[in-house]
Structure 1
């Protein structure tokens, strides 16, 4: 029998700013493979290609070349950006109502992952080591879903207006735990037992297991003397700069199709 991926650990990211698309992609991959800057660069590349296609046509219709169609100033990324990021890992993102996804509509338990979207929030439902979990970044920890409940839960999401996408392909088997802290300041590795304890503790204290709190990120190096507020302000400015670059009607940065460390493989948020 195949061994447990990542030693049986679950990778979860708790909501940071408006980065649920980043959290969604990383929890699908079960590791801190992408940053907000990676997705902003992918959005810029998609915007450039869309502008080229529209300007080569005889008419542009209501297409506005000055506006990004793949990332908003608030940090909400399009499904095309998520698709592009996961394509780097040979993963396909397919609308669940597509004929190709019909088997998943009948028996979703046979699949390995789903992406869910409503308004400006993204999250993933993922099978890890044979068990299903809801990796919503608004939750303090991944929530276990029984195989029986999975189908009912997906149906309830569809009934509430959520768009659901099936993720298929060869998911990464391992992410080096030793390098995770350096790659992503808001990710954490948890055992299934850790998840149960965290969610139970939230319920015991009368708190919701969902959280909009911004987790403290540990500064390092020359930033040790800065306050947390100053650090967060710097991060927000960097994110806004990256997104602004995507919105500019100029030549975007060249995209490196190689995923962020720790990988060495080929090549819409709150």
Structure 2
């Protein structure tokens, strides 16, 4: 799937990656989006000034940081919406009563694309050819999503707190769309999240440190106890990796397609605490 355009995470520029992955090309830079955000800030300032520049409301407004961007490169939905309007594309809230949103909830595969936001992270889900792909910039490569799993995937994102928007309008023609119409993609290797790769590295490092400490204290620790400790560490590592896969809705070979009644809301906070506790315990 090397012909699919897929920008990977760079700092906090997921909003930028989300747009370019949606449009399937390097159409925007961080400077472009920053200019849009600054223009929106100036327009908001002008509207506030109409009531007087010496009012408490105007003073408080000027003291607040920009709501359209921050120093890390995070952009608001208003900035992304403005950038998409240049392409005659619009965003419709997936959970709204808008007829387009209702149709999308009834049959998600009838739409062209979705962009999703949670806190400070944006990601794109788009159809190319006759297939759907998760173009999350945190993934090491695009993830193929079956038509059956798409509805469950969007439901899972909603349970995790994501705001989902239906992309309406005609997306730019892209090479991937043309290629995939002739030859559908096959997901041979399940892509991993970049954060998951880092977690794996942290786990390996922590285990190495733990084993080194065990060896240095071998005079006071029996061989049997060392083996038991190593077995426990391995078991905990497997348990942690299983929890990560579960939170992502995947197994070792690819997405786990569950019945709608089986979908459970993953507790990401518990997973984070468990990972941190595991690493601290291993040091």
Match for 1:23 among 17, 20, 27? 17
The match for 1:240 is none
The match for 2:46 is 52
1:100-249 maps to which residues of 2 (within 5 A)? 100=98, 101-174=101-174, 196-197=187-188, 199-200=189-190, 209-212=192-195
Higher RCO (Cα < 8 Å, 6 or more apart): 1
CA distance in 1, matches of 2:28, 2:18: 10
Q: TM-score, normalization: structure 1?
A: 0.63
**Closer, same or farther in 2 for the Cα pair 1:39/1:110, shift >3 Å?**
same
SS in 2 for 1:65: helix
- Is the 1:113–1:126 Cα contact (8 Å) retained in structure 2? yes
Give unpaired runs (5+ residues) of structure 2.
177-182, 199-283
Q: TM-score, normalization: structure 2?
A: 0.60
Shift of 1:156: 1.0
State the structure with more CA Rg.
2
Shift of 1:8: 9.7
CA distance in 2, matches of 1:106, 1:53: 40
The match for 1:93 is 91
Give unpaired runs (5+ residues) of structure 1.
1-6, 177-190, 203-208, 215-270
Which digits, 9 at most, give the CA deviation of each residue in 1:153-196, with x for residues without a partner?
A: 111111111111111101101379xxxxxxxxxxxxxx975x83
> Root-mean-square deviation (CA), in Å?
2.6
Count how many residue pairs are aligned between Structure 1 and Structure 2.
185
- Is the 1:18–1:75 Cα contact (8 Å) retained in structure 2? yes
- Is the 2:18–2:115 Cα contact (8 Å) retained in structure 1? yes
Which digits, 9 at most, give the CA deviation of each residue in 1:177-219, with x for residues without a partner?
A: xxxxxxxxxxxxxx975x835x44x6xxxxxx111589xxxxx
> Between Structure 1 and Structure 2, which shows a larger proportion of helix residues?
2
- Is the 1:10–1:192 Cα contact (8 Å) retained in structure 2? no
> Between Structure 1 and Structure 2, which shows a larger proportion of strand residues?
1
- Residue range with higher mean Cα deviation, 76-85 or 51-60: 51-60
